[in-house]
Structure 1
Amino acid sequence: MRVFRRFLIWLAALLTLLGAAASVIMFLQPWRSCPEIDDSSAGCPATESDLALLGLAVAAMLIGLVLWIAAVPRYQRITCEFAAPFGALPASPASGAPPVPSKLHSADEKQ
């Protein structure tokens, strides 16, 4: 199980990084040029195939993130059974203690 989880974490990291890099590259389109519209390649309109590849890259990145979250090991929560295996604790800390006598103030004694 440990080897499989490690494989899933590496696969998720690879998908996330490749998807993020491909998304940025597809968004910027450094290979495109359209001097009649804009000097920048990012100002050129995208074709249908560019949008499909951008969507595929974003989907790969999201799948990688979801896989990464699912593959990361979680720590077990500590329940009452594990926190106090020695038995039930008393309801209040003073329930087993002997009663403490209260002393009257001198003003109360004179009345």
Structure 2
Amino acid sequence: MCRNCVKESCPDRGSCCLETGTYLMNYAGCCQCNKKTDINNIDKKSENDVDGNETVTYKHVCQTCDHVIARHEYTFSVDDEFQEYTMNCVLCGYGEATVSILPDDPRQQRLF
């Protein structure tokens, strides 16, 4: 992971969790070749374990010189009544979200 290629290392992205793609607004340019060309996302791996948890990892790589800019990790899991998502990447940032799988989110119910 190269912190010299990004404007801000691991920015807080709130509940934004990207399974694929690149946060280009945070890309300063490749520190190795000094160019700001497109980024390739390579070595994509998706792993599922027996509990249904999924982890997707890949590398953000400079299209010009193959310099590795960052390693991107995305996870998805189901925990009781909620789906949980996380993203961790020097370029794309850190984010996490929890979404109810029920028609009415129990966290949003009001007492009458």
Could you say which TM-score interval applies, normalised by the shorter chain?
A: under 0.3
TM-score normalized with structure 1 length: 0.25
Report the TM-score, using the length of structure 2 for normalisation: 0.25
Which structure has the bigger radius of gyration?
A: 1
Q: Which structure has more helix as a fraction of its residues?
A: 1
